[in-house]
């Protein structure tokens, strides 16, 4: 049984639940079993919000995992909460636009991604969440990048269709950044 999972965490409104859904949709279309479990405490814009997405070749037992293999963090409280829990050898994507602290995980692959700047290059600061998703895919290649781009197209329809290009570009910026970083670092 092949399984992986990623915790995506940030402030409410930063769009971690949304990119989690896009990853889940892409994985489903890619023929995998998937679960998407959000935190649903008394959350609000500005509070913390997180989601754990599990992807597997088999039906998923527990949707909760104490020690995930992947982590994407948008803000410092999320880094402090989740980074110590990532499995050794896991991947941690850190939003360096907002977090200047180190992940302090020598045993993990840590990528610092200037999500806001890369999103701005794509056309909107608000697409920082898709930069992060791109970086995660670039670092792990868990599902093909094309599957994510298709899922972005399916996610934004009707009035929201206009957000497809900027989010796709943001995703690609993150993807490129991570692929370059992974290529450049020693194995």
Check residue 57 for interaction with other proteins (CB under 8 A): yes
The full length of the chain comes to 187
For residue 35, state whether it binds other proteins (rule: CB under 8 A).
yes
**Count of residues touching other proteins (by CB under 8 A):** 50
Asked if residue 168 lies in contact with residue 152, where contact means CB atoms within 8 angstroms, the answer is: yes
Is residue 109 a contact point for other proteins (CB under 8 A)? yes
Using CB under 8 A, pick the residue from 12, 18, 65, 75 that binds other proteins. 65
Residue 47 in the binding site for other proteins (CB under 8 A): no
CA atoms within 13 A on the CB side of 167: 22
Residue 145 makes contact with other proteins by CB under 8 A: yes
Buried b (16+ CB within 10 A) or exposed e, 135-165: bbbbbbebbebebbbbbbeebbeeeeeebbe
Q: What is the DSSP track for 147-183?
A: HHHHHHHHHS-GGGGGGHHHHHHHHHHHHHHHHHHHH
| Stretch of residues binding other proteins (CB under 8 A), selected from 65-73, 114-122, 124-132, 162-170 | 65-73
Q: Examine residue 182 and tell whether it contacts other proteins (CB under 8 A).
A: yes
Residues that bind other proteins (CB under 8 A): 1-4, 21, 24-25, 28, 32-38, 40-42, 55-57, 59-67, 69-70, 87-91, 109, 140-146, 179, 182-183, 185, 187
């Amino acid at each position: 049984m092949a399984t992986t999972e990623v915790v995506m965490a940030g402030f409410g409104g930063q769009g971690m639940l949304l990119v989690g859904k896009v990853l889940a949709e892409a994985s489903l279309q890619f023929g995998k079993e998937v679960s998407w479990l959000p935190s649903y405490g008394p959350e609000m814009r500005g509070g913390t919000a997180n989601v754990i997405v599990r992807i597997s070749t088999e039906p998923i037992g527990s949707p909760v995992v104490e020690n995930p293999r992947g982590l994407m963090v948008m803000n410092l409280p999320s880094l402090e909460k989740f980074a110590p829990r990532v499995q050794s050898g896991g991947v941690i994507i850190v939003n360096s636009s907002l977090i200047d602290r180190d992940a302090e995980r020598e045993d993990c692959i840590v990528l610092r991604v200037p999500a806001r700047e890369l999103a701005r290059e794509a056309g909107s600061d608000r697409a920082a969440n898709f930069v992060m998703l791109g970086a995660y895919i670039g670092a792990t290649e868990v599902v093909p990048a094309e599957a994510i781009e298709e899922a972005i197209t399916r996610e934004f329809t009707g009035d929201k269709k206009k957000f497809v290009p900027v989010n796709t570009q943001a995703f690609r910026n993150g993807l490129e950044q991570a692929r370059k970083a992974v290529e450049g670092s020693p194995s």
